[in-house]
Structure formats: C-alpha cells, structure tokens
Amino acid sequence: MSAASDRLNLVVLISGGGTNLQSLIDAIDAGELSASISAVFSNNSEAFGLQRAEKAGITTHIASHRDYENRSEYDAALADQIVKYQPDFLILAGFMRILSAGFVARFSDRILNIHPALLPKFKGTNTHQRAIDAGEVEHGATVHLVTEALDDGPNLLQARVPVLEGDTAASLQQRVLKEEHRIYPQAIQMLATGKLIIQDGVIKDNNGFSVTN
Ligand code: GRF
C-alpha cells in the first residue's frame, strides 16, 4: 500500500466497454472500496471505458501495440509508463492482450484479472458459448492473480450463476457480468483490508492460511 495513504493505489487496464472499471469507480464512490484509481490504460483508442474514466476524472493513456515492433517492446514500454504511478495493484478489466512473462515478473503478486468462467474451467475466450455447449448447469466468474500462464493464477474469489434452459451466450454473459461487477470490487477490498494477502504467488487469509485453490 502506498505510504501516503491507507487506500490502495490502482492502475486499471482495459480494452473495451469498461463495465468492470465502472463497477470499481462506483464502489469507490460508494465508500465500499478503499482505493483510488490513479490511471486507466487502454490498448484500444476506441474503448468506451476511456470515456468512463475521463468522466470520473481519471487520467487515461492509450498504449497501442501497433506502435511497437513486438510484444516484449510493447510490454516494456507499457510497464515503464505504469510504474510511474507506483500502483499497489494492476487491475485487468477486459484487457484483451496476453502479457509477457517479463511484464508479469515486473509486477509479480500485484496483477489481478477477472475472467468470465469458473476457472480452471473455460480458460481463454468465448467462455459463455463453450459452457452452454458443454452442457454445464452452472457458470460464473473468477477473480484471480495473474501469473505467466493464461487464466491460470490462484483464485481470490468466484461467483456462480445457473445456466438456464434457453440461455444464449448473450443472456448468460449478462448474468455473469452482473456477478463480475459485484465480486471484483469485493475481492480488491479484501486486499485493502488485509483479509486476503498475496505472497509469492499464494493467496492467504489474515491468519496466514493459504486459500489458494
Ligand atoms: C468481462 O466479461 C471480463 O470478465 C472479461 O472481459 C469482459 C470485459 O467487460 N475479461 P468490460 O469491458 O468490463 O465491460
């Protein structure tokens, strides 16, 4: 946590609509999340989430991968910009780029992601249709620590929703998204209050017991 305050300093990375970013802004405004967002980065200049950030008075940066030769150059430049904000946590909120091992190592134990599935099930994209096709009776969302492997880090929090008869990917996505907006601020608040601690890739409760699953 930054020395100057008892609030977590967050930097949020987005690529799209930014409804999860909005849920964090709203939770902070409502006093439910002891944090402040010092910057929002997007790799996509068209991301609607940038407008949400600007409306909330948050500094925005567009970091387009098209401006760089390769992934490691892009990631190094992005990390260099992010460290200037000295964030306690980097919050991936619909950031549609895989981060290189070098980037993850630079912020180890400090990058969180929300994934629209009950990890370890359905890593990757198109999770809602894949859950329907697999005949799942429940689906959900996971807040997890980001490690080098895609959608693979230990979980902080999950929310489950039923898969209903007649569900389409779109209807299931809406049900899951509602839960994402609930659990992402909640998981970050557990870190802000020390209810959860992340150490060497392990999530622990405030008694030092691993809650990693
Ligand atoms: C969410 O479903 C999130 O789980 C996934 O990307 C989507 C982003 O939505 N990683 P939004 O931009 O927060 O609205």
Q: Residues 133-172: pLDDT tens digits?
A: 999 999 999 999 999 888 888 999 999 999 999 999 999 9
Tell me the mean pLDDT in the region 181-208.
Answer: 95
Q: Is residue 42 part of a domain?
A: yes
Phi and psi of 13, rounded to 5°?
A: -110, 130
CB distance 21 to 40 below 8 Å: yes
Is 38 among the domain residues? Answer: yes
The number of domains in the chain is: 1
User: What percent of the chain shows pLDDT beyond 90?
Assistant: 87
Buried b (16+ CB within 10 A) or exposed e, 32-69: ebbbebbbbbbbbeebebbebbeebebebbebebeeee
Percentage with pLDDT > 70 across the chain: 97
Q: Quick one: pLDDT at residue 169?
A: 98
Find the CATH number of the domain harbouring 148: 3.40.50.170
Threshold 0.75, pTM exceeds: yes
Q: Tell me whether residue 14 is in a domain.
A: yes
Q: Please check whether residue 3 lies inside any domain of the structure.
A: no
- 163 found inside a domain: yes
How long, in residues, is the chain? 213
Instruction: Decide the pairing of beta strands 111-115 and 35-42.
Output: unpaired
| 141 within domain boundaries | yes
The closest of 178, 180, 172, 123 to 146, measured between CA atoms, is: 123
Q: Per the domain annotation, does 45 fall within a domain?
A: yes
For residue 9, pLDDT beyond 90: yes
pLDDT at 88: 98
Residues annotated catalytic, as ranges: 115
**Structural domain contains residue 212:** no
Mutate to test the pocket of ligand 1, among 177, 179, 182, 184 (most ligand atoms within 8 A of CB): 177
Instruction: Answer with the residue of higher pLDDT: 54 or 150.
Output: 54
Answer whether residue 34 shows pLDDT above 50.
Answer: yes
Protein residues whose CB sits closer than 6 Å to any atom of ligand 1: 14, 16-20, 49, 93-94, 114-116, 177, 180
Q: Which domain holds residue 164?
A: 8-205
pLDDT at position 65 is: 86
User: For the segment 169-192, what is each residue's pLDDT rounded down to a tens digit?
Assistant: 999 999 999 999 999 999 999 999
